[in-house]
C-alpha cells in the first residue's frame, strides 16, 4: 500500500488477475464496521474523498472507509475484454478487495 496523508492506495488482484485499486481511509483498529463506497457507472474512488475523510477522522464514530475503483476506472487496470464489464464480475472484484483487506463485515 502506498500512502498519502489522508488515505492509502491499496492494489490487489481481481479473481481473473487484473490489477485493481481502492483507497483506504482510517484505522483498521476502529471498533465500528468499515464503510464501503462504490462509485457510479463511470465514476471512481476520488468521488468519496470528502465523505471518507469525515467518516474516518472527523466523526464521533470514526471508522475505516474503503472506496473502490472498478476495473478500467481510476487507478484500476483496463480490461480489454469488454464482456468483463458487468455487475457480476465487478461485484466479485469488490468482494476480492474486501477479502484482501481482511474485511468480513461492512456497512
pLDDT digits (tens, 9 = 90+) for 8-19: 999 999 999 999
Let me know if residue 56 belongs to a domain.
yes
> The whole model's pTM is what?
0.91
Residue 20 lies in a domain: yes
Domain membership flag for residue 52: yes
* 26 C-beta neighbours (distance < 10 Å), count: 23
Closest CA to 67 of 55, 78, 84: 55
pLDDT (0 to 100) of residue 4: 74
Determine the pLDDT at residue 58.
82
Torsional sign, CA 105, 16, 3, 74: negative
User: What Rg, from alpha-carbon coordinates, does the chain have?
Assistant: 13
Long-range contact pairs involving 49-58 (C-beta distance under 8 Å, separation at least 24):
49/6, 49/7, 49/23, 52/7, 52/23, 52/25, 52/26, 53/6, 53/25, 55/25, 55/26, 56/25, 56/26, 56/27, 57/25, 57/26
CATH number for position 89: 3.40.50.1820
Q: What is the pLDDT of residues 9-46, one digit of tens each?
A: 999 999 999 999 999 999 876 678 999 999 998 999 99
The label of the residue with cell 461485484 reads 91
Task: Count structural domains, the chain.
Answer: 1
Residue 74 domain-assigned? yes
The residue whose grid cell reads 474512488 is: 45
Residue 105 forms part of a structural domain: no
- Say whether pLDDT at 96 is over 80: yes
User: Domain range spanning residue 23?
Assistant: 2-100
In a domain, 107, yes or no: no
Amino acid at each position: 500500500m502506498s500512502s498519502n496523508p489522508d488515505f492509502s492506495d491499496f492494489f490487489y488482484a481481481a479473481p481473473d488477475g487484473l490489477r485493481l485499486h481502492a483507497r483506504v481511509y482510517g484505522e483498521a483498529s476502529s471498533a465500528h464496521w468499515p464503510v464501503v463506497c462504490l462509485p457510479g457507472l463511470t465514476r471512481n474512488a476520488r468521488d468519496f474523498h470528502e465523505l471518507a475523510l469525515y467518516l474516518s477522522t472527523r466523526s464521533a464514530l470514526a471508522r475505516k472507509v474503503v472506496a473502490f475503483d472498478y476495473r478500467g476506472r481510476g487507478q484500476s487496470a483496463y480490461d480489454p475484454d469488454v464482456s468483463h464489464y458487468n455487475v457480476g464480475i465487478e461485484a466479485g472484484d469488490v468482494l476480492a478487495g474486501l477479502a484482501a483487506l481482511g474485511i468480513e463485515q461492512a456497512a
